[in-house]
Amino acid sequence: MIWLPFAYWFSPYKLANNALRGTLKNYGVNLAVIPNSLSQEISKNIIDIQKMTNQNSSVFKKLHDLQILIDFNAITMKKIINHEFKYEYEFTPEIEHIKNIMLKHAIKR
C-alpha cells in the first residue's frame, strides 16, 4: 500500500484503468466484453474530473475520491450492460455520459 501514492503521482491513468477493470471483475462483469480502450477512456475521464476539482487536496484524499468515482462508474457500467435502467428519469447526465462512451465503443452484452 505504500506504493499507491507514488503510482497516483506518476501514472494516475494506468492506476485508474487497472482499478476500474479490477472493480468491474469484482462486481461480476465479464471483462472479455469490455475493450481496454473503453476502460481507458472512462479512467481518463475520471482522472480529468479529479484534476479539475481536487487541486489542493492531499494524495490520500485524492485516492479516496478516486475509489469512490471508480465504484460509481463500475456500478453504472454494470447496470448499463445488464439493462437494469428501466425508466427515462433514471438517466442522469453522468449516466448518459458513461452510456454514450460505451455506445461509442459498441459494448456488447
Of the chain, the percentage scoring pLDDT greater than 70 comes to 95
How far apart are alpha carbons 43 and 86 in whole angstroms? 26
How far apart are alpha carbons 80 and 29 in whole angstroms? 11
How far apart are alpha carbons 74 and 25 in whole angstroms? 9
pLDDT band, residue 1 (cuts 50/70/90): low
Q: What is the pLDDT of residue 109?
A: 47
How far apart are alpha carbons 75 and 23 in whole angstroms? 9
How far apart are alpha carbons 85 and 101 in whole angstroms? 16
This prediction's pTM: 0.82
Question: Which residue intervals of the chain are DSSP H helices?
Answer: 4-10, 12-26, 36-53, 59-81, 93-104
* Average model confidence (pLDDT) across the chain: 85
Q: Where are the domains of the chain?
A: 4-104
The arithmetic mean of pLDDT across residues 23-31, rounded, is: 92
